[in-house]
Copies of this chain bind each other. A is one copy, B any other.
């Protein structure tokens, strides 16, 4: 149904429930929905599963959400970074679960969730630790691992621009996970730098059509 333009980030994240799976866009800071994560910290939902490429940096954003003990499990490709000390400490002390997923599987499993695919056979990780216990199949002489969709209750993504129908465009490599996560969650919330009148975005350049976007909010700092 129609996209809701929110007055602020708190309104945009309202109603996220305890126990939710939250897809969080961004690759490093590019495309990271900083305002929405800060609002989620204020909003209070806990026992969350967070799906994102990394597991937080420094003391802010995702790391701050983790530090408050609100995340039960992280699903990501690369938790270990130079300044991922918040995650590192939680993990080493057994206070957070981790599912490491190859980056391509992370993207493809969310795409599958958005595209109605029940499961798919993928060559990544075959014969490695990350495929242990997973079903495999040899197809045309190659070994594939059966992978299942990752579906979110909520996706928090960053984009560059939205029109009033929620049609999104991104900018450069800040596009990254946003368009995929937007297809894979029940409620999709986009933080954008500007909201423009409908009809001013060239329809050839829309990357995430408004059908995928439930709520849009303009960045506070933009």
Contacts and interface: CB of A to CB of B under 8 A. Distances in A.
A43 to B, nearest CB: 29
A170 B120 CA distance: 29
Nearest to A175: B204
Contact of A169 (B117, B119, B204): B204
Given A169-B204, A171-B204, A204-B171, A123 B118 contact: yes
A147 to B, nearest CB: 9
Point out which of A121, A140, A169 has the most chain B C-beta atoms below 10 A from its C-beta. Answer: A121
B120 A120 contact: yes
A178 B183 CA distance: 22
A68 interface: no
A115 interface: yes
A122 interface: yes
A116 B84 CA distance: 32
User: What 6 A-B pairs are tightest by C-beta distance, nearest first?
Assistant: A118-B121, A118-B144, A120-B120, A118-B139, A119-B121, A117-B120
Given A117-B120, A118-B139, 8 more contacts: A112-B120, A116-B122, A117-B121, A118-B122, A118-B123, A118-B137, A120-B121, A169-B204
Interface of A: 108, 112, 115-123, 137, 139-140, 142, 144, 148, 169-172, 202-205
